[in-house]
Amino acid sequence: MKIDKVKDFEKYNYDVSWTCDDWIDNMHHIHNSCEFLFVEEGAAHYYIDGAHYYIQAGDILTIGAMQHHRRVIDKLPFKRYGLTIKPTYYKSLALEDDLLQVFATPSVAYFQKHYTAIAPEVFRELVLLLKLLREEQTKHNPFRSRMERALIEQTIISLFRVFGLQRTKTPLTQIHAAMLAIQEYIALNYQEALNLKVLSERFFLHPATISKEFPKYCPQSLNKYINSVRVFAATKLLENTNDSIGKIAESCGFESENTFLRQFKSVMEISPTRYRKIFRELREKNEEM
């Protein structure tokens, strides 16, 4: 069964896809959703915030939200199923804190031990869940939203077990909850002026506390996270509009076009203009297939 990617993911809380790449290409990307890749055939190198992951048939890779990743295909054809879920959606499912571990990018060592060479029968069961979820997404059956939530929860619990993750009895600390709230606020208000002073006043925390604690619960420093969120928003505008670079910079909360150019290059490793050109060339290739 071939699964085609749903267009315009921004309209959806999640997306199920099946993709086959028949040519070697490099890809830079960042998005505000969590992505699960289930490799059916082929192999590729993924570089996530600088860490190197080699994935091949039978492997599963989790890429956490707002983590810059680069892909270099190694073996063709590169076929994989994908499940992409927005944090705002999976948080709305009221999952236990332990299950939220599934949405985090694993360390390279843990990935190599628990995310690779998944038993074929288990891999097939997970793919079946993706296909069922895709059917719910494309059809308008009674109780659709409840079935979607049930299938996603079953998938997350299955991945929790497959990945060998452990339940804990440690409650979410007050400072951890505050850092998660700050992340959520940044994701929703990136267009506004955001800095330590603004956030400390809003969340009643000392600036030094935020600077020290934020990197413990997010893979980036506060400033880098803010810029990453804004850069992600900019990629969507570069992909889907003809807005000028200056207008996009302003729309995404950057103080100046030069700051935007510098931060975009830092996160994506290419310029905004080059990113737009590459994206449109790839889109045209896919439309021709």
User: How many Å apart are CA 248 and CA 95, to the nearest integer?
Assistant: 36
Residue 104 sits in a domain whose CATH number is 2.60.120.280
Q: Do 50 and 125 belong together in one domain?
A: yes
Q: Do 222 and 272 belong together in one domain?
A: yes
Residue after which a domain boundary falls, among 162, 189, 219: 162
Check whether the bond before 77 is cis (ω within 30° of 0).
yes
Residue after which a domain boundary falls, among 162, 194, 209: 162
Rg of the Cα atoms in the chain: 19
Q: Do 256 and 144 belong together in one domain?
A: no
Would you say residue 267 lies in a domain?
yes
User: Domain containing 277: what range?
Assistant: 174-288
Residue after which a domain boundary falls, among 113, 138, 162: 162
Nearest to 234 by CA among 221, 223, 249, 244: 249
Strands 34-48 and 69-85: antiparallel
Nearest to 85 by CA among 161, 6, 191, 167: 6
Q: Do 81 and 190 belong together in one domain?
A: no
Residue 242 sits in a domain whose CATH number is 1.10.10.60
User: Are 17 and 84 spatial neighbours (Cβ–Cβ below 8 Å)?
Assistant: yes
Per-residue pLDDT of the chain (289 residues; tens, 9 = 90+): 334 444 444 457 899 999 999 888 778 878 889 999 999 999 999 999 889 999 999 999 999 988 889 999 999 999 999 999 998 888 878 788 899 999 999 999 999 999 999 999 999 999 999 999 999 888 878 888 889 999 999 999 999 999 999 988 777 789 988 998 998 899 889 999 999 999 999 999 999 999 999 988 876 889 988 998 899 889 889 988 999 999 999 999 999 999 999 999 988 888 999 989 887 887 776 566 5
User: How many Å apart are CA 202 and CA 225, to the nearest integer?
Assistant: 18
